[in-house]
Amino acid sequence: MSQIFETWRHVFKLDPDRELSDEELEAVCMSGSDAILVGGSSGVTYDNTVELMSQIRRYELPCAQEVSTLDAVVPGFDLYLIPMVLNTDRTEWITGYHREGLENFGELIPWEMVAAEGYIVLNPDSTVARLTGADAGIDARAAAACARMADKLMRLPIVYIEYSGMYGDLDLVHEVRRVTDEAVVFYGGGVRDYETARNAAAAADVIVVGNIVYDNLTAALDTVRGVRDFI
């Protein structure tokens, strides 16, 4: 079964806990990006997720929720991405919350709209690394092992290289993609302008752009062009 993210190259990740004006949101949604991901590591609630989703829904591009807490799963997205952190030993972030969700809602889940992400968390200073207790200092060889675990052993459809807040080691990203055959490789972290986007696009399949949307919208919009120009 083909999934909508297989054709994506650039996505913006918007945080329900942060504010954008209507004009800013319009610029993001009309930028030529392939999709909007809604999610964040802290402060995500049902209410702020509904609010952001309904604003994005005025535009045509696909909108996916990246689920980080069971309390904030909102119906109405095109796709639900479920992170499973591969470089942590805290089992709740690998299968624990997942099992809890499935015990409660397993019968109700529209599986054709769900995809799991094998997360490799690589910035030790990020909220996601602290929250999940990820062993974020791993080298390219260990990251490649995580990618193979996702792609070959678990057959997850997405490998997500998460440098949230810092620009990553693109050699590591290349190595992860080299060893990944079936899964789509997402890269996120520190993409903040045309150049960083273009270079990241050479290393991964899908470039995720987050923080810069809130810090410098013009530069964020340039990342779409950077990815397109690489293609």
Residue 15 assigned ligand-binding role: yes
- Candidates 206, 143, 200; CA nearest to 175 is 143
- Candidates 6, 7, 33; CA nearest to 197 is 33
Shortest approach of ligand 1GP to residue 108 CB, angstroms? 27
Which CB, 59 or 167, lies closer to ligand 1GP? Answer: 167
Shortest approach of ligand 1GP to residue 43 CB, angstroms? 14
Long-range own/partner contacts, residues 58-63 (CB < 8 A, 24 or more apart): 58/29, 59/26, 59/29, 59/30, 61/29, 61/33, 61/34, 61/35, 61/36, 62/4, 62/34, 62/35, 62/36, 63/35, 63/36, 63/38
Shortest approach of ligand 1GP to residue 85 CB, angstroms? 12
Which CB, 58 or 230, lies closer to ligand 1GP? Answer: 230
Give the interface with ligand 1GP as residue ranges (CB under 6 A).
13, 162, 164-165, 188-191, 208-212
The b/e string for 137-165 (b: 16+ C-beta within 10 A; e otherwise) is ebebeebbbbbbbbbeeeebbbbbbbbbb
Distance CA 68, CA 44 (A): 8
Which CB, 188 or 226, lies closer to ligand 1GP? Answer: 188
Shortest approach of ligand 1GP to residue 106 CB, angstroms? 27
Residue 199 assigned ligand-binding role: no
Residue 31 assigned ligand-binding role: no
Residue 96 assigned ligand-binding role: no
CB-based closest residue to ligand 1GP: 188
Please enumerate, by residue number, every residue annotated as part of a binding site: 13, 15, 41, 160-165, 190, 210-211
Please enumerate, by residue number, every residue annotated as part of a binding site for sn-glycerol 1-phosphate: 13, 160-165, 190, 210-211
